[in-house]
Amino acid sequence: MVMKMKKQPIYILAKFIVDNRKKINIVFILAVIICGIMFPFVGVNYDLSQYLPSFAPTKQALDVMEEEFGYPGMARIMLKDTTKYEAKQIRDQISDIDGVDMVIGDDLLENIYAAPGFMKTEMSDDFFKDGNAIIEVVFEEGDSDPKTKAALDEIYDIVGYEDNAFSGSAVSSKFRQESITKEIVFAIFLSLVIIFIILAITTTSWFEPLLFIAVMVVAIILNMGSNIIFGTISFFTFSTAAILQLAVSMDYSIFLLHTFSAYEERGIKRETAMILAICKSCKSILASGATTIVGFITIALMQFTIGKDVGFVLTKGIIYSLLTVIFMMPSLILTNTERIKKYKHKAFIPPFTRLGSILRRFRRPILIICILLAVPCYIGQGMNKFYYGDDALGASPGTKYYEDTREINNIFGKSNMVIAMVPNTSLVQEREVTDAINDLDFVNYAISLGGALPEGIPVDFLPDDIVDIMHTDNYARILISMNNMEESDYSFECNDILTKTVESYYPENSYVLGMTATTIDIKDILTEDYNKVSIISMIGVAIVVAVTFKSLLIPLFVIIPIEVAIYFNMTLPYIAGGSLLYICYIIVSCLQLGATIDYSILVANNYFDERHSHNKEEAAINAVNKSAISVLTSGLILAVVGYLLFFTSSITAISQVGHLVGRGALLSMLLVLTLLPALLSAVDEFIIKRREAQKLKKQEKVNKNKKLLPAIIPEKIKEIGKKADKEKNKGDDKSEK
């Protein structure tokens, strides 16, 4: 067998890996050191608006605002048990902090635009109630900018973080920054412990799990450090990429080690056994990686470019996992073979000899249930209460940020900060639009230079630094507080009315910006993205499966259990009366398909192998028995990782991704081991006939070639003889001359 393979490219590659394993290890060690050093320099972005495509109205407006005024973050602070005088002192202190652009309070107009008593303000009730004072802070830079974060730290020192309440997008961003790193480290540590336990139970050596984990940790470090090529990655990617890479790609190293062990048990020399193991397992490992990569790379096709961020990082992670398994793991196995044997233990899990028979009893009921529920669940998943924007990505119930926000809203009502930018052409027109906005019943207040400056007082009367806060040469800005949430149907309606009001005074070159406007754009783009991404993902995976089985029909039945599992998974929030983040809905749908389709491929492969010597009933039973341990090991690892994210993350988006991934893995396992054998048995006759027909056609072609061969060979020999004689005669003629 070895002699036959020696000329094949895969054998040459495998031999190169085994012969040069020490040099390859040095390359990986250096790469890990370099990526480990680079990792802290990878930036993390917490602002969803940065991922809007260039054609989105909000993105265009943000570009204009950043050029004219900068890109401000916002915070809302409630001082408890205070007086108006104390609140004013604190506002003055906050105003002096580097990075703070503007502090809004009930005395804002009098203290900024004129001497006390020069103007009249009617905003006291909006900023002081029952011994509590509210302060709105506008920063010079964005919510997640280091300068804003430093300014918030100074505000916490002045005000007292534990004694008062803080809300707003800048506070939310800071909370995410401080929470994510600690939570992800904790989740990964717990994942490694639980994965070690799962692998120790499902393998027969205490040392094997350490090898698997070591290889994956190397791949994760390479992936996370090399993210520096992107400059920054989203907090969403930063939170999920490492732990999902760990769960999804663990199978590759397990398959290689078990293939090597099988060859070694046959008495083959270790190096040769490893070369053969690489040759045999490489195709399966690459096919498995291909389906996962298709699922991830499809996410990158989203117009909302956070999908590109997630998709590229996860795809890169799978590629690194494949490289470490194929190039690095052979060396680790060969070096530690004796340790693997030394720490052998008896199998904790008995062979699943009866599982197939047990599940066979439920085959028809499960098939009927899935047929009846598939269409309603497909419809139901689209009827979820979806959230799209930054407000839905914030802290989970029980965290200080969540409780502070609720307390502030209960006392002072909601404050959805919006900035309107209008051409700086006329103070009179600016005053008129400000008054019109203030007359809207959903507006708490609207503040502008034109609206505050008394009629007849020129702008030149004010200091330049005061004017620069609200005016540039081209634009004037109006600060608006709406008394609604950042994201709801009512908020969208209010934002539309506000936009039309501004445009009625400034039909051209006017903009309304804020989290609500951003969320509207995100909603429109994500809804369009889902239809495109889900279809492309399914087609891509189907092509990989079709190439694997060399059939156009089998992919249909292999994909069905996973798609049904996805429909069930995404419909459960609707049934439970909960809500779903749309970005999680898109990403996990693609991820679940790409990561769990391998379960279906494994069961289908084993089924068709068994059909060579058994009838369809026995083949289905044996396929489940042979596949169960691999499916359960892989599925449980993915489920554990998902639920650890769910239970450990205080960020709603990350927690929900974990919940969907964990539940999706369990549903995929269940349907692959129950629904898929039922489907294969139901269409067995048709598939087998087609496979036999293809096999027969191939054999007929071979036989035809064999018949033609005896006739062709003599003719070829004659041609060769004539050619030789001709060459000889030419040679004789030359000699005579």
Q: Which residue has the higher pLDDT, 717 or 456?
A: 456
Helix (H) or strand (E) holding 447: strand 443-447
Helix (H) or strand (E) holding 579: strand 579-581
Q: What is the pLDDT of residue 111?
A: 45
pLDDT grade, residue 492 (50/70/90)?
A: very high
What is residue 399's three-state secondary structure?
coil
DSSP letter at 344?
A: B
Q: What is the pLDDT of residue 113?
A: 39
Residues 582-599 have a mean pLDDT of: 88
Cβ neighbours of 89 (radius 10 Å): 13
What distance in Å separates the CA atoms of residue 98 and residue 24, rounded to the nearest whole number? 51
DSSP letter at 452?
A: H
What distance in Å separates the CA atoms of residue 206 and residue 192, rounded to the nearest whole number? 14
Where is mean pLDDT largest: 98-107, 259-268, 474-483? Answer: 474-483
Q: What is the pLDDT of residue 392?
A: 64
> Above 50 in pLDDT, residue 117?
no
Counting DSSP H helices and E strands in the chain, the numbers are 29, 13
Tell which residue, 601, 564, 566, has the closest CA to residue 584: 566
How far, in Å, are 10, 172, 178 from residue 395 at the CA level?
50, 7, 12
Q: What is the pLDDT of residue 118?
A: 38
> Above 50 in pLDDT, residue 119?
no
How far, in Å, are 143, 233, 300, 319 from residue 45 at the CA level?
10, 6, 17, 24
Tell which residue, 591, 610, 601, 580, has the closest CA to residue 684: 610
User: What tens digit of pLDDT does each residue of 160-203 get?
Assistant: 888 899 988 888 888 888 888 888 888 888 888 998 998 888 88
Q: What percent of the chain has pLDDT over 90?
A: 22
Do residues 588 and 537 touch, judged by C-beta distance below 8 A? no
Q: What is the pLDDT of residue 460?
A: 63
Long-range contacts of 431-440 (CB under 8 A, 24+ apart): 431/455, 432/505, 433/478, 433/501, 433/502, 433/505, 433/506, 434/478, 436/501, 436/504, 436/505, 437/478, 437/480, 437/498, 437/501, 437/502, 440/494, 440/497, 440/498, 440/501
Look-up: residue for tokens 């429909």?
567
Asked whether the CA dihedral 336, 340, 343, 348 is positive or negative, the reply is positive
Q: What percent of the chain has pLDDT over 70?
A: 87
pLDDT grade, residue 568 (50/70/90)?
A: very high
Q: What is the pLDDT of residue 35?
A: 94
Alpha-carbon dihedral of residues 43, 311, 376, 539, nearest 10 degrees?
170
Residues 61-66 have a mean pLDDT of: 86
3-state secondary structure 233-275: EEHHHHHHHHHHHHHHCHHHHHHHHHHHHHHHHCCCCHHHHHH
Do residues 195 and 246 touch, judged by C-beta distance below 8 A? yes
> Above 50 in pLDDT, residue 116?
no
Where is mean pLDDT largest: 13-27, 108-122, 283-297? Answer: 13-27
pLDDT grade, residue 437 (50/70/90)?
A: very high
Q: Which residue has the higher pLDDT, 685 or 323?
A: 323
User: What tens digit of pLDDT does each residue of 321-355 get?
Assistant: 999 999 999 999 998 888 888 888 887 877 777 77
Q: What is the pLDDT of residue 121?
A: 47
> Above 90 in pLDDT, residue 444?
no
Residues 267-280 have a mean pLDDT of: 89
> Above 50 in pLDDT, residue 120?
no
pLDDT grade, residue 315 (50/70/90)?
A: very high
The residues with which 475 forms a beta bridge, in sequence order, are 423
What distance in Å separates the CA atoms of residue 169 and residue 519, rounded to the nearest whole number? 13
Residue 247 is encoded by which pair of tokens? 């769960």
Q: Which residue has the higher pLDDT, 121 or 148?
A: 148
